[in-house]
Amino acid sequence: MEPFARVKSLPKGALGDIKGRGLPIQLESWVNSLPNDLLKIVSIFAENNAGIWVVGGSIRQGLSGVTPNDYDLATDMKPNQVLKCFPKSIETGVEYGTVTVRLKAGGDMFEVTTLRCDQEYLDGRRPESVDFGTSLTVDLERRDLTINAMAIDLARQELYDPYNGLDDLQSGVLRAVGEATLRLEEDGLRVMRVYRFMDQGDGGLWHPDEMLSAALIECREMLVNVSLERVWHELRRILSGFHAADVLARMDLDGVLKIIFNGHTFDLNGQSSLQIISENSVIESRLAMMFRGDNPANLLKHLTMPKSVINRVSELRRSIGNLPNENDVTQLRVYRAVLGAGLDAQLACERALDTKDAKNIQAALNQLPENDAKDVALADGHWIVDKTGIKPGIRLGRLKDYLHRLQVENNVSSLDELHSMLNDIDWEESDPSDWPQLRWP
């Protein structure tokens, strides 16, 4: 089949004011994977005499052999006209020219942004005003990095690459569009984006050129002007990256982490050795390791992290360095039961930190059979009340926890066994605050 045959029959929209080149052959699989709804949307823009171009990260991914998860479009059509052409669309950020276009409710969605002109950034967060334009050239020169400043006219099979982003992509170099300091000063979040783009996963670790490297340090204070939600969004992606340890080390060297962490002390030891499968667990593990010497709860809350993340980081941080005796079966059972789903993350942290006996404990746990009751409490409050007559309250709750620990430690599989153990407890006279709980450490 002829290359790019899938888009040759598309109607042609308005021509961009920039010299292009034919699509590189490495984009053929990218073109073949384009969603049908995207091609239909591009056709509708063209049939309405509008210019329409694919822009942004999907081109970068396509040239790198990665199938994108989403696609962004740029057009010379004004937002109100876009909404008329696509009535099922969502007004994502109309004041900034962005409409989330879809052909029908529940259908594939694509962000379409009207071309913009130069604008003034006074606070390093957002432009004071947005002026819509018709120049693709001007729109591309506003973008942060050369690898993000490319556009494609699908109908004409043309790639527009005025800043040689393709060359930088092939060389693994991060370079700003125009003056690096100016680009970062326009939006402080671009500092974080540059660090994120350093991590190209299987594509390796990329490095900013000399000008961009200097600008990252010069503009690092711009981060204080960026909303904390946006900072956390980028930091989360950095922490989950394949080369996260290297990127964090660079951010530390450049003094960026000190600004993000607002004076909290942190430790990057072990980051390069951490190996965890789950994206969420690797983020939480990295944070727990970084702040194992400094309670980060207030900082994480300040960074607007979800409460569930804060809780898991705090729990993991408390457990780091507290391991059971590899030869004590009861300790191993309690440790396994308490950590539950967090066990793999905690042991991964210990291995990364080269904690003594961590590998032996992992081996011992691998050999330890699952408890017969699978660590689920056999005795509920009703059963305990029936056997003891204790009224609901602190004593009942502590006794339930005590029995649960005994069940886990001794691999109790029936209530009859547990009842026998209950008879050996001085639950009437002793102080419940002295009773063991199912917790670790």
Beta strand 98-101 with 90-93: parallel, antiparallel or unpaired?
antiparallel
**Residues 6 and 101 placed together within one structural domain of the fold:** yes
Proportion of the chain above pLDDT 70, given as a percent? 97
Residue 79: is its pLDDT beyond 80?
Answer: yes
CA distances from 128 to 75, 86, 95, 214, 356 (A): 22, 28, 11, 26, 56
Domain assignment present for 256 = no
- 């700003």: which residue's tokens? 176
Task: Pick the range with the lowest mean pLDDT from 155-164, 190-199, 270-279, 432-441.
Answer: 270-279
In this structure, are residues 435 and 421 in contact, taking their beta carbons and an 8 Å threshold?
no
Specify the CATH number for the domain of residue 153.
3.30.460.10
Cβ neighbours for 389, distance < 8 A, ≥ 6 positions apart: none
**Residues 358 and 393 placed together within one structural domain of the fold:** no
Distance between the two ends of the chain, CA-based, in angstroms?
65
User: How many separate helices (H) and strands (E) can be counted in the chain?
Assistant: 21, 10
In this structure, are residues 183 and 177 in contact, taking their beta carbons and an 8 Å threshold?
yes
163-177 pLDDT tens trace: 999 999 999 999 999
**Residues 65 and 117 placed together within one structural domain of the fold:** yes
**What is the number of alpha carbons within 13 Å of residue 171 lying toward its C-beta?**
13
CA distance 96 to 418: 66
Name the domain boundary from 154, 171, 188.
171
**Residues 357 and 419 placed together within one structural domain of the fold:** no
pLDDT of 295 reads: 86
378-406 pLDDT tens trace: 999 999 999 999 999 999 999 999 999 99
Domain assignment present for 231 = no
The packing angle between helices 343-352 and 329-339, to 10°, is: 110
Token couple for 103:
């052909």
**Residues 413 and 320 placed together within one structural domain of the fold:** no
**Residues 35 and 141 placed together within one structural domain of the fold:** yes
**Residues 118 and 34 placed together within one structural domain of the fold:** yes
* CA proximity to 355, closest of 331, 319, 329: 319
CA distance 300 to 54: 37
Residue 130: is its pLDDT beyond 80?
Answer: no
**Residues 334 and 426 placed together within one structural domain of the fold:** no
**Residues 333 and 404 placed together within one structural domain of the fold:** no
179-233 pLDDT tens trace: 999 999 999 999 999 999 999 998 899 999 999 999 999 999 999 999 999 999 9
Domain assignment present for 8 = yes
CA distance 62 to 57: 8
287-309 pLDDT tens trace: 999 999 888 888 999 899 999 99
Cα dihedral 67/68/72/74 (nearest 10): -20
Domain assignment present for 97 = yes
Q: What is the mean pLDDT of the chain?
A: 93
**What is the number of alpha carbons within 13 Å of residue 125 lying toward its C-beta?**
10
Domain assignment present for 244 = no
**Residues 426 and 395 placed together within one structural domain of the fold:** yes
Residue 62: is its pLDDT beyond 90?
Answer: yes
Domain assignment present for 300 = no
pLDDT of 95 reads: 87
Domain assignment present for 7 = yes
CA distance 336 to 338: 6
Residue 126: is its pLDDT beyond 60?
Answer: no
Cβ neighbours for 159, distance < 8 A, ≥ 6 positions apart: 20, 21, 22, 23, 24, 27, 59, 150, 151, 152, 166
Q: What's the helix, strand, coil split of the chain in %, to 5?
A: 50, 10, 40
Name the domain boundary from 171, 196, 216.
171
Name the domain boundary from 128, 146, 171.
171
**Residues 330 and 423 placed together within one structural domain of the fold:** no
**Residues 125 and 52 placed together within one structural domain of the fold:** yes
Q: Which domain holds residue 405?
A: 381-434
Pick the more confident residue, 171 or 124: 171
- Count of domains observed in the chain: 3
Domain assignment present for 123 = yes
How many other CB atoms sit within 10 Å of the CB of residue 257?
20
CA distances from 300 to 287, 297, 321 (A): 9, 5, 21
